[in-house]
Chain A
């Protein structure tokens, strides 16, 4: 992790942990001296301890993610007492899964497919929550204005994309690759043989927009949430790129936690963390800004079974084996 952020790099982290430990000991003895009534109060708010390493699949520009997770980190620190939160960026989708697997990340915002991969790599991993929009998530197909691809009425209409150049996002992106490839397949388009050239993998939704707008690819497939935000921001050149199709819905992004966070951060931690995420509803201080960056109104419950369909599709296109 220290490769990315020298703020929290290991040696300095060691010093920080040592300092924390000393203060913790000092505080502990303080409470004892102050008497029993303080202890009962502490029990009521169940204090935890340690640094929670939070990460996310890098589906958008790194700066956007840093902003989003810095605010999110502050929120969690305020609502889960005693916990420090560190946002750890990763280079690509597979790296988020492998770093979750190695235990270097505690809680990760995964996509539908990477979530399935991560749960199979880390048995017992806990699905914490999803956004309201993730239960009915969609992909959009966007096209360069001069591509000749116009509005598409239904899934079968995607067949017009054959013969055009197309870019996906990451290879393991649910809304940027897996579902679009699945729907294209339903329309009879084999992405490996029927496009102009092989499909590109831009790496992220933002870059897919950029590459289609620049004309590098005629068609792109990406998360509707990212697209809608780009449209709302008004930064797109509408003479160059436009939406041509919105797919049927599927389950997508969700929070996934390591199985043994309670032993690491204190009894009841996982439940408390889930509660804090679910209570993020825009009413409290700064909550609206976080939700806006997540493109959602609130977080809701989810369960592993929601992603069975994605797992099945992932197997058919070979990203889950």
Chain B
């Protein structure tokens, strides 16, 4: 707790608070942007463009998710502890070799996971230009690594008896895993695939930064020419998609274990006891109709998506592309510091940490506010006047809509907006991360609040406690462990996300990568990516400890 407070104070001090960061002259531009919300461009031509862009974004997400699932399913079995079981070969020398192998296999999975999709994309364009394969791989590779580790956990969590019996009967490792556990984990795996799909849509929109087509790209074009009305048409399209996907995935997860994170490499097993309990109850359920139906639609959509983005997977085998890849790797190795040397890298890394801490603090506070206002009353049958009820409904609607908007607008677009009123540096990045993550936190906290046991609330209402006391002394304390666990987890995700706002001009390691890429200094890019990987993994470890401490 003290550590958290110290970290917060240090971070604020690091990025510095003063009016100097505000570019007061930019308010009129920002005003024009918000003013255009009521006047989106609705010409037939632009609407058609928006629909095509939305189809492209969705197609990237679909094909990327499928690729990540394939990678995950192929890699998960050897990542699972079960594969490395100690039963057969227990001689010490084998054990040492096996432990080494296990760590190698894990490291091989951890690095692609720690590198943000946008960094993958920035590297892949150096090989494939702006071919659609860039978006598909940029989603598929890191998501594949994440899925593999999650699937491995699912495998390890599955009932061991059948597997042990098969192994005892002399079945080879892979066969034993496939036959005993494959059937058992199918529902969990499908649930997770949808969760990944939801994340993939957000990523596909961000990939507009590197020129991959779709809504994010069109938004960036509109922003380049400051066409705010065009931007709003695209934003509304993203809001609709995000809204539908939110509802859909909530519905699936409600029938499935509730995974209470958002677009990170979170294990399905949630960080707190409540959710673990809820998972244990639900996890062995058969896939629901909704899920089966959804899964079939996703499969059916693959060829359509493939056709729409005109994906040619064989480009990866192309001789010229392979030599470009080899040359890229050669130019990236050995890593070397950029012009500022180690101190520039260190400073950028420290900025990144400070940005992530301030951003998580602000998003937790704002997200909680939005969640409290937007949460459905736990007890539905409160006797209230019609007026009070309508006010309540209006309040909830406003809160929920602002949360949805906040998370529908991709981080890089938030960063462009923030850059209108904040001078380049850490603050526009923090503002962008905060805006987006407020939307995410509002949703997660909202779910946490709505999941609370309604009986406490009923009792308090019966005893005549006013709403504020109920909130302060019952609701929030009850939800606190989960809220803190979610915040710790989200901090780790934000650390990873700082790279997006850096790429569009804010401070930190993302900014450094952008400078390195402008100068085509790939050896320096490698050192910056290495720093990012170390920090992401460290953040994950810290966040895990925080979550364990909260139990």
Contacts and interface: CB of A to CB of B under 8 A. Distances in A.
The answer to whether A and B come from one shared complex is: yes
A249 B130 CA distance: 35
B85 interface: no
Interface in B200-259: 209-213, 217, 220-221, 224-226
Interface in B147-185: none
B23 A216 contact: yes
A94 interface: yes
B146 interface: no
A197 B425 contact: yes
B310 A319 contact: no
Contact of A203 (B20, B224, B520): B224
Interface in A48-84: 58, 61-63
A121 B520 contact: yes
Contacts of B220: 91
Size range of the chain A interface in the assembly: 35 or more
B25 A3 contact: no
Contacts of A174: none
A3 to B, nearest CB: 4
Contact of A3 (B212, B226, B339, B420): B212
A66 to B, nearest CB: 11
A18 B212 CA distance: 27
Contacts of A105: 129
B423 A197 contact: yes
Contact of B211 (A61, A91, A120): A91
Contacts of B210: 91, 95
A104 B130 contact: yes
Contacts of B377: none
B505 interface: yes
A180 to B, nearest CB: 16
A113 to B, nearest CB: 10
B320 interface: yes
A112 interface: no
A97 interface: yes
Contacts of B361: none
Nearest to A198: B424
Interface string A161-183: 00001000001100000000000
Contacts of A101: 126, 324
A279 interface: no
Interface stretch (A4-12, A36-44, A135-143, A282-290): A4-12
A215 B221 contact: no
A224 interface: no
Contact of B519 (A9, A103, A204, A318): A318
A94 B517 contact: yes
Contacts of A120: 520
B520 A216 contact: no
B112 interface: no
A52 B217 CA distance: 25
A281 interface: no
Contact of B130 (A90, A93, A204): A90
Nearest to B339: A318
Contacts of A20: none
Contact of A206 (B28, B225, B307, B514): B225
A236 interface: no
Contact of A198 (B128, B217, B425, B515): B425
A170 to B, nearest CB: 9
B369 interface: no
A104 B23 contact: no
Interface in A180-205: 196-201, 203-204
B21 interface: yes
Interface in A272-321: 318-321
A98 B135 CA distance: 16
Considering residues A197, A218, A320, which has the most beta carbons from chain B within 10 angstroms of its beta carbon?
A: A197
A9 B25 CA distance: 43
Nearest to B324: A102
Contact of A104 (B28, B129, B339): B129
B324 A319 contact: no
B213 A4 contact: yes
A46 interface: no
Contacts of B126: 98, 101-102
Interface in B510-535: 514-515, 517-521, 524
Contacts of A210: 226
B301 to A, nearest CB: 18
A94 B209 CA distance: 12
Considering residues B125, B132, B221, B518, which has the most beta carbons from chain A within 10 angstroms of its beta carbon?
A: B518
A270 interface: no
B130 A95 contact: yes
B130 A3 contact: yes
Nearest to B221: A62
A2 B424 contact: no
Nearest to A1: B130
Interface in B307-362: 307, 309-310, 312, 320-321, 324, 338-339
B519 A319 contact: yes
B131 interface: yes
A132 interface: no
A97 B125 CA distance: 11
Contacts of B125: 95, 98-99, 102
A207 interface: yes
Contact of B23 (A2, A98, A121, A197): A197
A273 B129 CA distance: 24
Contact of B424 (A61, A62, A172, A199): A199
Listed from nearest, the 10 A-B pairs whose CB atoms lie closest are: A197-B423, A91-B211, A104-B129, A3-B213, A198-B424, A216-B26, A215-B25, A102-B129, A321-B521, A171-B518
18 contacts: A2-B309, A4-B130, A11-B310, A11-B312, A61-B225, A92-B211, A197-B23, A198-B425, A200-B423, A204-B224, A207-B226, A214-B28, A214-B32, A215-B26, A215-B28, A218-B25, A319-B519, A321-B339
Given A11-B312, A104-B130, 4 more contacts: A63-B225, A102-B125, A197-B424, A207-B225
